[in-house]
Chain A
Amino acid sequence: MYRYDEFDATMVAERVAQFRGQVQRRLSGELTEDQFKPLRLMNGLYLQLHAYMLRVAIPYGTLSSKQMRRLGEVARKYDKGYGHFTTRQNIQYNWPALVDVPDLLDDLADVEMHAIQTSGNCIRNVTSDQYAGASAEEIEDPRPYCEMIRQWSTFHPEFSFLPRKFKIAVTAAPHDRAAVKVHDIGLILYKNEEGETGFEVIVGGGLGRTPYVGHTIRKFLPKKHLLSYLEAILRVYNLEGRRDNMYKARIKILVNSEGAEKFAEAVEAEWAQIKDSGIDLPREEMARIDAYFAPPVFEKLSDESAVLEEKKASDKNFARWLRLNTFAHKAPGYAIVNISLKPIGGVPGDISDVQMEAVADIAEEYSLDEIRATHEQNLVLPHVKKDDLYAVYAALKAVDLATANIGMVSDIIACPGLDYCSLANARSIPIAQRISERFADLGLQEDVGELKIKISGCINACGHHHVGHIGILGVDKKGEEFYQVTLGGSGAEDASIGEIAGRGLSSDQVVDAVEKLVGVYRERRQGKERFLDTYRRLGAEPFKEALYEAA
């Protein structure tokens, strides 16, 4: 894991001091709320429906046990005893008092954490594959590049007042767990035919009210030019992106209105001017950052674990958890463990202070001190010995964190919706809870298999409904909450934007609707098809029919 040196620590400490001054100026009345707004928004502090909300960055989703423990303490000390993991691998606190926020940030700075650039029209927290450094699928660990981007983008003087927010995701595996094709910039690290590793650069993807899958504007970018190329993209966007209408200000609108080719030409022309001007990191600094992410020393183990086999045979629930919540690790005898933050009937992404501390303890004892947050609002223990899996399962179960539903119908992404958010048209969380309860039977869920439901409470699409296999969008119809269903979306390597199924449904109808869609799938699926595969093979018709038959 990356560790701060004195420079990093100073930057964060100075940011807290600066923000403390800004809060003081607000509290003393020197700044009006209007004047304070752009300042707090540079530091992840939003004014929500009922209170301030603070979003804390978890760069590329990587946390140590010490950091997770501190997140739990912060939840208890400054909030109502819980936090909420978001779709960008961050955590949000929904109830801090403004006057406490500088102290809260000091507590975070102690463990090398911050809220820098978690809001505002700047380059946001960079996200990545939650299995980075643990999966056998990847070319190399993508996180060193994420850290390089984090440093380069932090307080970037030219790119702090962009037309709109800007999100970058990086992956190094063919199976895309970072949704790189629906980011402002998505980077895929891969090995080309000459055997060199570099990035495929994808630009202009995004969700919101105009969803787009991104375009590849450069097939292969040598790693050493990463930052200068990003700078060229950002400069073209900063100068050319629309500023007359905030709904048309994201880079996706620029790329898609100009055409990806023309946009790529502009970037290449800019890059030609700046690529050798000292933006890129020298080899020594790249190596320094790289070294922090050297693989941990894994014990030499047999890939078979007798303890595991025995427990698997004797405990059916454990066996299911093992099938659904663990993933192959690159080192023999190890596994990647997913911790679901989607208990049946729970609030997606919510976690209590006690649970956070338990996860910290478990990671310290069993996962080489590492934890990851995922964009699907779950957590990961990346390096668990197979021999320890049962102990980990038992420890998670003791704090209600062992729901076996990763990737299943109840593993729902939902935005905070009208329960918290001032932009929302409808509630998201209760819909997620009721779908989850309808499919409470984990055996049934496993039979249904991978099915990604994503719920947004308004067209801004924070719940990623466009890329849900089943997407649900809350709309306001004459003061009543209605829900529009989209079908066939995906945020993975087979990215696509879902199609609207038909007229909106009431909150009562929408849960039945999901059940009907699942019914069509179970009837019509062939072989090992997932819901999405069956939908793509059959098209929308049979699903629409089921949805709207005599309803």
Chain B
Amino acid sequence: MKLLKLSRGRLYPALEEPLSEVSLEDWLDNPQGHADATALKISNDVSLASIRCDLAGFSTIILEFPAFKDGRAYSQARILRERYGFTGEIRARGDVLRDQLLFMARCGVDAFEFTGDADGANEALKEFSFAYQRAADDLQPVWRKRLDRAAAA
């Protein structure tokens, strides 16, 4: 397993510091028993609507992509960023492919357990200059750019 981390629009190979992982279920069951956990693992069939807990104690949340076709964690990532304001690392684990990195990054994922080539991964992030819609990243949607340009003209 290799780890790539996103920093200011670029992916860098990162050292794999050992994480102390706990699943959401185990942690909700017994928070005291997992007081030293640093990473919260959320499986992709868990509804985040009902989480009423403090995520800030974790440095990392791990989301699962068991198969590239299974896109539930894209929604989970956005909810964690945009609704719960989680500012720590969101890490994608599982079937993480080159051509999905941009979508994941736009949804708020900023660390990737990625076995492919790091240069290719960086190319993939740069394949599109614009985006049509707002997401969890700081990219301005095209309609905002249009408005700004019209205002400047």
- Cβ contacts under 8 Å, B131 to chain A: 155, 157
Q: Is A337 an interface residue (CB 8 A)?
A: no
Contact of B74 among A22, A157, A269, A274 (CB under 8 A): A157
Given A285-B147, A288-B146, the answer on whether A161 and B68 have CB atoms closer than 8 Å is yes
Partner of A278, one of B47, B103, B130, B134: B134
Stretch at the interface among B6-14, B21-29, B33-41, B75-83: B75-83
* Residues on B with beta carbons closer than 8 Å to the beta carbon of A159: 71, 74
By the criterion CB–CB under 8 Å, are A157 and B147 in contact?
Answer: no
Cβ-defined contact, B146 with A152, below 8 A: no
Across the interface, do B69 and A121 meet the contact criterion of CB distance under 8 Å? yes
Please tell me if the beta carbons of B74 and A279 are within 8 angstroms of each other in the complex: no
Q: Which chain B positions have C-beta within 8 A of A157? A: 74, 102-104, 106-107, 131, 133, 135
A-B residue pairs in contact (CB < 8 Å), sample of 13: A10-B130, A11-B142, A14-B127, A151-B142, A157-B102, A158-B74, A158-B107, A161-B68, A161-B74, A161-B100, A235-B75, A239-B72, A239-B75
Contact of A281 among B74, B107, B143 (CB under 8 A): B143
Taking CB atoms, residues of chain A closer than 8 Å to B69 are 38, 121, 161, 243
The CA of A243 and the CA of B99, in the complex, are separated in Å by 21
A18 to B126, CA, bound (A): 10
Residue of B nearest to A154 (CB): B132
B146 in contact with A7 (CB, 8 Å): yes
Cβ contacts under 8 Å, B47 to chain A: 239
User: Interface code B97-135, partner A: CB below 8 Å = 1, 0 otherwise?
Assistant: 001101110110000000000000000000111111111
Known: A11-B128, A157-B106. 15 other contacts (CB 8 A): A5-B146, A11-B132, A14-B129, A22-B99, A38-B69, A151-B142, A152-B132, A157-B107, A157-B135, A158-B135, A161-B74, A161-B100, A227-B133, A238-B71, A279-B133
- Taking the complex as formed, is B15 at the interface, i.e. its CB lies under 8 A from any CB of chain A? no
Residue B145 lies at the interface, judged by CB distance under 8 Å to chain A: yes
User: For the complex, what is the distance from the CA of A243 to the CA of B78, rounded to whole Å?
Assistant: 20
Which residues on the A side are within 8 Å of B107 (C-beta)? 157-158
Set of chain B residues within 8 Å of A281, measured between Cβ atoms: 143
Interface of A is mostly: helix
Counting CB contacts under 8 A, is A17 at the interface? yes
Query: Counting CB contacts under 8 A, is A536 at the interface?
Result: no
B82/A160 in contact, CB under 8 A? no
- Whether A10 lies near B70 (C-beta < 8 A) is no
B-chain residues with CB within 8 Å of residue A195 when the two chains form the complex: none
B1 within 8 A of A: no
> What residues of chain A lie closer than 8 Å to B135, measured between beta carbons?
157-158
Per-residue B-contact encoding for A1-16, CB less than 8 Å = 1, 0 else:
0000101101100110
Give, as a whole number of angstroms, the nearest-CB distance from A280 to chain B: 10
B152 interface residue (CB < 8 Å to A): no
Instruction: Collect the chain B residues with CB atoms within 8 Å of residue A238's CB.
Output: 71-72, 74-75
Number of interface residues of A (CB under 8 A): 41
Contact A155–B128 (Cβ < 8 Å): yes
Q: Is B53 an interface residue (CB 8 A)?
A: no
How long is the Cα–Cα vector from A42 to B99 in the complex, in angstroms? 11
Q: Assess the B130–A243 pair: CB atoms within 8 A.
A: no
The residues of A with any CB-CB pair to B shorter than 8 Å are: 5, 7-8, 10-11, 14-15, 17-18, 22, 38-39, 42, 121, 151-152, 154-162, 227, 235, 238-239, 243, 269, 273-274, 277-279, 281-282, 284-285, 288
Q: Write the nearest CB–CB distance from A396 to chain B, whole angstroms.
A: 38
Q: Which residues of B contact A243 (CB under 8 A)?
A: 69-70, 72
Q: How far is the CA of A160 from the CA of B74 in the complex (A)?
A: 9
Expressed in whole angstroms, the minimum distance between the Cβ of B6 and any Cβ of chain A is 14
Give the CA-CA distance A22 to B98 in the complex, in Å.
11
If A154-B132, A155-B128, A157-B103 touch, does A284 touch B147 (CB 8 Å cutoff)? yes
In the complex, the chain B residue whose C-beta lies closest to that of A288 is B146
User: Does B153 make an interface contact (CB < 8 A)?
Assistant: no
Verify B132–A155 contact, CB threshold 8 A: yes
Question: Quick check: B132 and A273 within 8 Å, CB to CB?
Answer: no
| Given known A-B contacts A11-B128, A14-B127, A38-B68, A158 and B143 have beta carbons under 8 A apart | no
A160 with B103: CB separation less than 8 A? yes
CA A154 to CA B49, docked complex, whole Å:
27
Closest B residue to A231 using CB positions: B133
B110 CB to closest chain A CB, in angstroms? 14
Contacts of B143 in A (CB 8 A): 151, 281-282, 285
Q: Smallest CB–CB gap between B17 and chain A, Å?
A: 28
Which residues on the A side are within 8 Å of B83 (C-beta)? 273
Task: Looking at the assembled complex, report how far the CB atom of B94 sits from the nearest CB atom of chain A, in whole angstroms.
Answer: 12
C-alpha spacing A17/B92, complex, angstroms: 26
Given contacts A152-B133, A278-B134, whether A162 and B71 have CB atoms under 8 Å apart is: yes
User: In the assembled complex, which residues on chain B have CB atoms less than 8 Å from the CB atom of A14?
Assistant: 127-129
- Expressed in whole angstroms, the Cα–Cα distance for A151 and B99 within the complex equals 20
List of B residues within 8 angstroms of A5 by Cβ: 146
CB atoms of A156 and B71 under 8 A apart: no
Q: What's the minimum C-beta distance from A231 to chain B, rounded to whole angstroms?
A: 8
B130 touches A284 (CB 8 A): no
Provide the residues of chain B in CB contact with A161, threshold 8 Å: 68-71, 74, 100, 103
